[in-house]
Amino acid sequence: MKTWIAFWNILKKDINNYYLKPPNISWGIIFPLSWTLMQIIRSSGGLNLSEIREILPGLMAMSILFGTTSMLAVTITFERKGRSFERLLLAPISLGAMVAAKLSGAILFGVFNAFVPLIFAAFFIDLTGIGWGTVLLAVLLIAVTSTLMGLMIAVSAKEVFEAQTLSNFFRFPMLFLCGLFLPVSSLPDFLRPLSYLLPLTYGTDMLSGAIIGRSMLSPVVCTIILLIFAAVLFTFCHYNIRRKWIV
């Protein structure tokens, strides 16, 4: 019960202090919105509504990726710099529970980001036929793995600007390698193995399968792979936090 009280209050504090701040809410709305508009305008030199559904999986995945990685990395680095993070390290709750509480805020923010393009698209296209269960699962798993990548960055960065730079270093190559804009099958042979090392590839594939009915792998396989990614990333981050932050 004590752990749950601490967990819930860390999550509530992060949501109030960081995620519900106007700049982040506007980022969460404007970023996916502007990408959606850009893709719509770009397609065939004008508004082509039939293409919205095609680009939806990529936009949702990208919105989650950008929302989660930088937010968690920046908030943790910011708290570490101000030493308020020490309070959490010194609280009598397990390191795993504390880290999970910190992750939860970013995961929820990522899920919120994912649904902005979807809600926006609902005004223009018919969304029937979408596998909602798979979409929800994919959104959640992409949010979890992207947040964990944000934590991995937070463990390595000492300054907020370092966290931002590192986030971009990871994110931009990922955009091109995980099938958001180009199908993985059309990538050059030497780049393709890299694509399969990225969790976003499997998340995007799940979303594509559920929204446009085209995927490389079955959602079950993608789910298993993403869960393995999540477990490995969590263990790696947990180990690194113990090693680097409790010196």
* Residues at the interface with another protein (CB under 8 A): 1-3, 5-6, 8-10, 13, 16-17, 82-84, 86-94, 246-247
Q: Per-residue DSSP letters for 150-166? A: HHHHHHH-SSHHHHHHH
Q: Per-residue DSSP letters for 57-126? A: HHHHHHHHHHHHHHHHHHHHHHHHHTTTHHHHHTSSS-HHHHHHHHHHHHHHHHHHHHHHHHHHHHTTS-
Name the nearest CA neighbour of 153 among 60, 46, 70: 70
Q: Compare residues 5 and 224 and give the one whose CB is closer to another protein.
A: 5
Q: Compare residues 14 and 205 and give the one whose CB is closer to another protein.
A: 14
Report the nearest approach of another protein to the CB of residue 80 (Å): 10
Report the nearest approach of another protein to the CB of residue 2 (Å): 3
How many CB atoms are located within 10 Å of the residue 179 CB?
Answer: 26
Report the nearest approach of another protein to the CB of residue 227 (Å): 27
Report the nearest approach of another protein to the CB of residue 112 (Å): 20
Report the nearest approach of another protein to the CB of residue 14 (Å): 10
How far apart are alpha carbons 144 and 109 in whole angstroms? 11
Residue 172, Cβ density class (10 Å: 0-12 exposed, 13-18 middle, ≥19 buried):
exposed
How far apart are alpha carbons 208 and 144 in whole angstroms? 18
Q: Compare residues 87 and 214 and give the one whose CB is closer to another protein.
A: 87
Q: Compare residues 21 and 214 and give the one whose CB is closer to another protein.
A: 21
Q: Compare residues 1 and 190 and give the one whose CB is closer to another protein.
A: 1
